[in-house]
Chains A and B, each alone.
Chain A
Amino acid sequence: MIPAQFDYVRANTIDEALSLLAQNEDAKLLAGGHSLLPAMKLRLAMPSLLVDIGRIKDLAYIREENGRIVIGAATTHYQIESSELLKTICPLLPQCAGHIGDMQVRNKGTIGGSVAHADPAGDWPAAVIALNAEMIIASKNGERSVKADDFFVDLMTTALEAGEILREIRINRSTGRTGQSYVKMHHPASGFAVVGVAANLALNGAGKCQGASIGITGVAARAYRPAGVESALNGATLNDGTIASAATHASDGIDVNGDLFASADYRKHLAEVYTRRAISAAMESAR
């Protein structure tokens, strides 16, 4: 449980962190450290340099700007969970944050660290997909933006290139009547999502769905958008029947993972059940 030897530098600005990354290709960014440090203690990861970006002041914030919600990458899960602003304008985020790990993890772990790590059972990837978030990535050459759908490439693999830092997550504030929900089956020991489903619905006054955006985590090598569920919901009047029938498409075309805890068939079943629950809960929460 003792990591291999490594150097540690605390960066004060993003530019400083970018320079350090450019100098050492074996360097890793440290934010909350709740995925990287356990891997290092087991010597599954042995970076020669840790660049700590977790204390860069202007990397942790939650703001509303021009109809958009912007969240700094080093914002902790707890800051999101307890944000009154988000509870009002984007309740999916605080709800999702509350499902992550335990209090200690939420106090230290960050949203940027979690999505950049891209654990196949992490909670944030489902939420940022359902919210159609944009990931703002900084590098020596300036900034670029990647849609959440394109950000998660494969198991623990994202669109981030070497030498890049995820700086901010942007979400368009929804207008009109919306309902959001994140539901999850917790792994009893690790707390990770065996299956986690985020639902973000736009509804009209009569309960007709005018837009559905769903993200599913825990089921495959990466979080994904179940296109079949969304198209079945679009334009439908939501009731138990239409929701149940849409949810049957939760893992269409997906290579479902199996492990000792949950076989692929069981996970497939859970994906459908939790998708149904997420949509129902989102509909009930609609204001």
Chain B
Amino acid sequence: MKIAGTHEIQAPREVVYQALTDPQILQRCIPGCESLEKTADNTYVATMKAGVGSVKGTFKGNVRLEDMQAPIHYRMIVDGKGAPGFVKGTGIFNLEERNGGTAIAYEGEMKVGGVIAGVGQRMIEAAAKMLAAHFFKTLDDEIGRGDSWRPASTPP
């Protein structure tokens, strides 16, 4: 399954890139992510309780950031397993300066298997889109809250 889109944030590209590669911010943005622990440079072990409606599952997996070209590009590799099935995916993030803010173009390719793929097939795409929307909404809030990067002259 493929998922792609663009999300615009009113913040400088450096700030957005920094946030998108900061494990603490990522942990708060990834829906249901309970922990994200560093095991090596740019490599983390994650525990996620992901769910939509009454359907919930706990996933454990690895997250690796690769091909990092600050502040314009990186790749995220996710490999997770849980009782409902497994998820393997690659996400590419490209950041572009646009309208005084930053446009994040993302492109992901995911493989989902196990029970969740068998019975939830018709909902996986919608669920992935919903989780992505949740991720970017939280990222907006996270970046909006930290205002150290705002120029002093910005009117309140």
Which residues of A are in contact with B by a Cβ distance under 8 Å? 28, 36, 38-39, 42-47, 117-118, 120-121, 154-157, 187, 190, 192, 220-221, 255, 257-261
Question: For the complex, is B68 an interface residue (Cβ under 8 Å from A)?
Answer: no
Count of B interface residues, CB-CB < 8 Å:
21
- A sample of 12 inter-chain contacts (CB < 8 A) reads A39-B55, A42-B84, A44-B116, A45-B56, A47-B54, A117-B53, A120-B126, A154-B130, A156-B54, A257-B126, A259-B121, A259-B124
- Min CB–CB distance B136 → chain A (angstroms): 14
Alpha-carbon distance A223/B123, docked complex (angstroms): 14
CB neighbours (8 Å) of B121 from chain A are: 259-260
12 A-B pairs besides A43-B83, A45-B55, A157-B130 with CB distance below 8 A are A28-B54, A43-B115, A44-B115, A44-B119, A120-B122, A120-B126, A121-B122, A155-B123, A259-B121, A259-B123, A259-B125, A261-B122
Nearest-neighbor residue (CB-CB) of B56 within chain A: A45
Instruction: Tell me the chain B residues, 15-38 only, with Cβ under 8 Å from chain A.
Output: none
Q: Which residues of B contact A (CB under 8 A)?
A: 52-57, 83-84, 115-116, 119-127, 129-130
The 8 closest A-B pairs by CB, nearest first: A156-B53, A221-B126, A259-B122, A45-B54, A44-B55, A155-B126, A155-B130, A156-B52
Query: Which chain A residue shows the least CB distance to B5?
Result: A255
Q: A44 contacts which of B57, B122, B126, B129 (Cβ < 8 Å)?
A: B57
Bound form: Cα–Cα A190–B56 in Å: 22
Q: How far is the CB of A106 from chain B (nearest CB, A)?
A: 21
Q: How far is the CB of A46 from chain B (nearest CB, A)?
A: 7
Q: With the chains together, A156 CA to B124 CA distance in Å?
A: 12
Known: A44-B57, A155-B52. A192 touches B122 (CB 8 A): yes
A39 partner residues in chain B, CB cutoff 8 A: 54-55
B80 vs chain A, min Cβ distance (A): 16
Selected from A46, A47, A221, the residue in CB contact (under 8 A) with B130 is A221
Docked CA distance A103–B57 (Å): 31
In the complex, what distance in Å separates the CA atom of A47 from the CA atom of B119? 19
Instruction: Find the residue from A38, A39, A192 having the highest chain B CB count within 10 A.
Output: A39
Q: Chain A residues with Cβ under 8 A from B53's Cβ?
A: 117-118, 155-157
CB of B129 within 8 A of CB of A221, answer yes
Candidate in A46, A120, A156 with the most chain B CB atoms within 10 angstroms: A156
B54 and A257: CB pair below 8 A?
no
A255, B122: Cβ atoms closer than 8 Å: no
Cβ of B54 to closest chain A Cβ, rounded Å: 5
Q: Which residue of A lies closest to B118 (CB)?
A: A42
Q: Is the CB of B122 within 8 A of A42?
A: no
CA distance A269 to B106 in the complex (A): 27
Q: How far is the CA of A121 from the CA of B129 in the complex (A)?
A: 16
User: Which residues of A sit under 8 angstroms from B127, Cβ to Cβ?
Assistant: 155
A118 to B57, CA, bound (A): 19
Q: A97–B125 Cα gap in the complex (Å)? A: 27
Q: Are B125 and A44 in touch, CB under 8 angstroms?
A: no
- Contact check: which of A28, A42, A121, A157 meets B52 at CB < 8 Å? A157
Smallest CB-CB separation from A40: which chain B residue? B54
Question: A220 contacts which chain B residues (CB < 8 A)?
Answer: 126
| Chain A residue contacts of B122, Cβ below 8 A | 120-121, 187, 190, 192, 257, 259-261
* Distance of A214 Cα from B62 Cα, bound (Å): 45
CB of A218, distance to nearest CB on chain B (Å): 9
* A120 with B123, Cβ < 8 A, contacts A44-B57, A155-B52, A221-B130 known: yes
- Which residue on B lies nearest to A29, using beta carbons? B54
